[in-house]
Structure 1
Amino acid sequence: MKILMRADTHVSYSVPAEGTKANFTFSQVLAALSVSLCSLVVGFVSAYTSPALVSMTDRTITSFEVTKDAGSWVGGIMPLAALAGGITGGPLIEYLGRRNTILATAVPFIVSSLLIACAVNVIMILCGRFLTGFCVGIASLSLPVYLGETLQPEVRGTLGLLPTALGNIGILVCYVAGSFMNWSILAFLGAALPVPFLILMIIIPETPRWFVNRGQEERARKALKWLRGKEADVEPELKDLMQSQAEADSQATRNTCLELFKRINLKPLSISLGLMFFQQFSGINAVIFYTVQIFKDAGSTIDSNLCTIIVGIVNFFATFMGIILIDRLGRKILLYVSDIAMILTLSILGGFFYCKAHGPDVSHLGWLPLSCFVIYILGFSLGFGPIPWLMMGEILPAKIRGPAASVVTAFNWFCTFVVTKTFQDLTVAMGPHGAFWLFGVVCIVGLFFVIIYVPETRGKSLEEIERKMMGRVPISAVVNIKPFSFNM
Structure 2
Amino acid sequence: MGLSSIFCIVRWLAVYFSKGVIALDLGRVCNGFGIGLISYTVCSQTSSQTGNVIDAMLFVRLIKELIGADFFAEIAPKTLRGALTTLNQLMIVTGISVTFIVGTLVSWRTLAAIGILPCFLLLVGLFIVPESPRWLAKVGRKKEFEFALRRFRGKDADISEEAAEIQEYIETIQDLPRVRVLDLLERRYLLSVTVGVGLMVFQQFGGINGINFYATNIFKSAGFPSNIGTIIFARIQLPFTFLGAILSDRVGRRPLLFFSASGMLIGCILLATCFYMKVHDSSSGFVAILALTGILTYIGTYSVGMGGVPWVMVSEIFPINVKGTAGSLVTLVNWFGSWAVSFTFNFLMSWSSCDWLFFSY
* TM-score interval (norm. to shorter): 0.7 to 0.9
TM-score normalized by the length of structure 1: 0.60
Counterparts of 2:261 and 2:92, CA distance in 1: 21
2:301 aligns with: 379
Count of aligned pairs: 334
Distance 1:218 1:256, change over 3 A: farther
Counterparts of 1:272 and 1:214, CA distance in 2: 30
Deviation at 1:287, TM superposition (A): 1.0
Deviation at 1:166, TM superposition (A): 2.0
* Equivalent of 1:183 in 85, 108, 120: 108
Unaligned 5+ residue runs, structure 1?
1-101, 440-488
Distance 1:334 1:198, change over 3 A: farther
Check if 1:245 corresponds to 2:170.
yes
* Equivalent of 2:200 in 257, 267, 276: 276
Check if 1:207 corresponds to 2:132.
yes
Distance 1:341 1:117, change over 3 A: same
Higher mean alpha-carbon deviation, 211-220 vs 102-111, is at 211-220
Counterparts of 1:427 and 1:182, CA distance in 2: 25
Retained in 2: the 8 A contact 1:346–1:437? yes
Deviation at 1:116, TM superposition (A): 1.6
* Equivalent of 2:223 in 299, 304, 320: 299
Which amino acid in the other structure matches residue 207 of structure 2? G
TM-score normalized by the length of structure 2: 0.78
SS in structure 1 at match of 2:73: helix
Deviation at 1:196, TM superposition (A): 2.1
Counterparts of 1:437 and 1:291, CA distance in 2: 17
Distance 1:317 1:289, change over 3 A: same
Taking only aligned residues, the RMSD between alpha carbons, in angstroms, comes to 3.2
Higher mean alpha-carbon deviation, 207-216 vs 282-291, is at 207-216
2:67 aligns with: none
Distance 1:212 1:335, change over 3 A: farther
Q: How does 1:317-396 map to 2 (within 5 A)?
A: 317-357=239-279, 361=282, 363-365=284-286, 366-392=288-314
1:443 aligns with: none
Counterparts of 2:130 and 2:253, CA distance in 1: 28
Check if 1:123 corresponds to 2:45.
no
Unaligned 5+ residue runs, structure 2?
44-69
Counterparts of 1:244 and 1:237, CA distance in 2: 10
Retained in 2: the 8 A contact 1:149–1:393? no
Which amino acid in the other structure matches residue 192 of structure 1? L
Higher mean alpha-carbon deviation, 210-219 vs 284-293, is at 210-219
Retained in 2: the 8 A contact 1:352–1:433? yes
Counterparts of 2:9 and 2:308, CA distance in 1: 25
Distance 1:345 1:185, change over 3 A: closer
1:112 aligns with: 11
Counterparts of 2:234 and 2:191, CA distance in 1: 35
SS in structure 2 at match of 1:382: helix
SS in structure 2 at match of 1:161: helix
Counterparts of 2:159 and 2:191, CA distance in 1: 31
Counterparts of 1:395 and 1:206, CA distance in 2: 29
Q: What per-residue deviation string (whole Å, max 9, x for no partner) do you get for residues 65-92 of structure 1?
A: xxxxxxxxxxxxxxxxxxxxxxxxxxxx
Identical aligned pairs, as a percentage? Answer: 33
